Amino acid sequence: MRPGKKYDVIVIGGGASGMMAAGRAGERGRSVLLLEKNATLGRKLDISGGGRCNITNAEFDKHAFAKHYGTAEDFLYSPLSKFGVQSTFDFFTARGLPFKVEARKRAFPETERASDVTRVLKKYLADAKVEVRTGSAVLELHAGSGRITEALTSSGTYRAENFIIATGGMSHPETGSTGDGFKWLISLGHTVHPASPSVVPLKVREMWAKSLAGVTLEPMKITFYCDGKKAFSKKGRLLFTHFGLSGPLILNSAQEVGELLKEGDVTAVIDLFPELDIAALEKKVLEAIDANKNKDLKNVLADVVPKGMSKIVPELLKLKDPKLKAHSWGKEDRKRFVHALKAMPLTVTGLMGLDRAVISDGGVPLTEVDTRTMRSLIIGNLYLTGDILHINRPSGGYSLQLCWTTGFVAGDSV
């Protein structure tokens, strides 16, 4: 920085929305400084989607797309009109990174490398002549007369006409998302809803579930109950972990489960064969028995249950004789086993914390932001993007699309 230089725009945060905002502002000819406290840009982006980066969701109808954001839906029509899902496809494809679309319309880079997404954005910044300062943590923002005047950082003080805060929420704090932006925004007069994990795995009590860590079930159905009363059911893919349950089905149920936990005791039952009724499943089991009458029962049934679950068959059977042959299995025991496969009970003890959250909510309510431009309605030269905004959304590409959309609109408007 030259002594006394004043930028058109300072962007605080070098994640997905920050890089998009800075690149777009620079592309429009603005002088832009991007401040990032980490040693590198895009640290959280590099690990997103398990390193594959679920870059967006291929739902091209903006109204259908916006419905996934709950109460924020009406606020997002304008920004999605300026930079929606098709814009994201076009942006990255034009820069040599085409997408592939998988189940539930989830879009990934064809290379399946999140680092390639970061690479494209870094080149976007370079082409737009954005000045980047990494290892530069913002300590505080100075303001007066309803405007921010400068940013005090670990590497100096910087001035600008406009500021964009893109510091993210509080999921994956190890990547630098520690809620810094929330503190500044409160001091500037904004309301900030406290962060809580909204897309996060569940903790369960049962050891048999934890013993299946790494096993995936698909398709399956899970039904949640609160104080014994049915709350809701969902079908999809479930992943057992050493602490309980994860996978897309669970992650996208977590917010509802969290609300149930505030009301009472939460239990769940897993239906391992949602496509079969009791009679059809019993027939499937009988066919396996008839074809293997002289084999050990536990080995026969290990081939009936979903892959990876054979280790819990003895527990489900509760056999007094571990060497019991299939032909000696009683009718009532068989019925109990079939019913267990259709309704395996679990006790939900809580949600995992922010350190395990894929997405956290919390942040500035959209009633304090002009979402046509992403400008703050409280501070005249401040723009807000990405996870700094209080918007609930499921997993499946919706979080990153929010970053691309709000980042582009802020960079286009500033």
So what's the pLDDT on residue 371?
A: 97
The Cα–Cα gap between 282 and 339 comes to 9
The Cα–Cα gap between 14 and 153 comes to 15
Token pair 């969701």 in the structure block, residue: 57
Asked if 277 and 305 sit in the same domain, the reply is: yes
The Cα–Cα gap between 330 and 105 comes to 46
Going through 102-242 in order, the beta strands assigned E by DSSP cover 106-109, 131-133, 138-144, 147-153, 156-165, 197-199, 202-204, 216-226, 229-240
DSSP state of 125: H
Asked if 237 and 346 sit in the same domain, the reply is: yes
The Cα–Cα gap between 269 and 305 comes to 16
Output 172 or 30, whichever has higher pLDDT.
Answer: 30
Backbone angles phi, psi at 62, to 5 degrees: -65, -30
pLDDT per residue over 240-270, tens digit each? Answer: 999 999 988 888 888 889 889 999 999 999 9
Domain boundary among 327, 352, 377: 352
CA-to-CA dists, residue 291 to 248, 285, 303, 331, angstroms:
36, 10, 12, 17
Asked if 10 and 84 sit in the same domain, the reply is: yes
Asked if 192 and 286 sit in the same domain, the reply is: no
In a domain, 266, yes or no: yes
pLDDT per residue over 133-164, tens digit each? Answer: 999 999 999 999 999 999 999 889 999 999 99
So what's the pLDDT on residue 55?
A: 96
So what's the pLDDT on residue 312?
A: 85
Asked if 340 and 217 sit in the same domain, the reply is: yes
Domain count, the chain: 2
* Residues 6 or more apart whose Cβ sits within 8 Å of residue 178: 170
Confidence of residue 169 (pLDDT cuts 50, 70, 90): low
- For residue 279, pLDDT over 80 is answered with yes
Confidence of residue 196 (pLDDT cuts 50, 70, 90): low
In a domain, 1, yes or no: no
Token pair 């997103």 in the structure block, residue: 48
Task: Tell me: cis bond preceding 219? Omega within 30 of 0 counts.
Answer: yes
In a domain, 69, yes or no: yes
The Cα–Cα gap between 355 and 11 comes to 25
In a domain, 131, yes or no: yes
* Residues 6 or more apart whose Cβ sits within 8 Å of residue 403: 15, 16, 17, 20, 385, 386, 387
Q: Pick from 12-21, 197-206, 233-242, 345-354 the range whose average pLDDT is largest.
A: 12-21
Of 395, 45, 111, 360, nearest in space to 239 by CA? 395
So what's the pLDDT on residue 248?
A: 82
Asked if 86 and 51 sit in the same domain, the reply is: yes
Token pair 């879009």 in the structure block, residue: 107
* Beta carbons of 132 and 125 less than 8 angstroms apart: yes
The Cα–Cα gap between 31 and 154 comes to 21
The Cα–Cα gap between 132 and 26 comes to 12
Burial of 73 (0-12, 13-18, 19+ CB in 10 A): middle
Tokens linked to 192? 């900030």
- For residue 194, pLDDT over 90 is answered with no
Mean pLDDT of 373-387: 96
The Cα–Cα gap between 179 and 167 comes to 8
* Beta carbons of 33 and 158 less than 8 angstroms apart: yes
- Percentage of the chain exceeding pLDDT 90: 68
In a domain, 119, yes or no: yes
The residue type of 255 is Q
Query: What value does the mean pLDDT of the chain take?
Result: 90
pLDDT per residue over 293-323, tens digit each? Answer: 889 888 888 888 888 888 888 777 776 777 8
Asked if 123 and 181 sit in the same domain, the reply is: yes
Of 280, 353, 272, 348, nearest in space to 316 by CA? 272
* Beta carbons of 17 and 407 less than 8 angstroms apart: yes
Q: SS3 of 126, please?
A: helix
Q: What is the CATH number of the domain that holds 73?
A: 3.50.50.60
pLDDT per residue over 397-410, tens digit each? Answer: 999 999 999 999 99
In a domain, 118, yes or no: yes
Q: Report the half-sphere exposure of 60 (CA within 13 A, side-chain side).
A: 5
So what's the pLDDT on residue 175?
A: 43
Of 208, 207, 224, 213, nearest in space to 247 by CA? 213
How far, in whole angstroms, is CA 49 from its chain's centroid? Answer: 8
Asked if 339 and 374 sit in the same domain, the reply is: no
Domain boundary among 309, 325, 352: 352
Domain boundary among 352, 374, 395: 352
Tokens linked to 38? 């980490």
- For residue 360, pLDDT over 70 is answered with no
Asked if 39 and 162 sit in the same domain, the reply is: yes
**In terms of residue numbers, what domain contains 269?**
201-352
- Nearest-10 Cα torsion for 40, 45, 46, 50: 160
DSSP state of 358: S
Asked if 103 and 230 sit in the same domain, the reply is: no
Asked if 266 and 366 sit in the same domain, the reply is: no
pLDDT per residue over 55-73, tens digit each? Answer: 999 999 999 999 999 889 9
Asked if 344 and 367 sit in the same domain, the reply is: no
In a domain, 94, yes or no: yes
* Residues 6 or more apart whose Cβ sits within 8 Å of residue 227: 263, 264, 265
So what's the pLDDT on residue 1?
A: 47
pLDDT per residue over 9-36, tens digit each? Answer: 999 999 999 999 999 999 999 999 999 9
- For residue 167, pLDDT over 80 is answered with yes
The Cα–Cα gap between 345 and 364 comes to 39
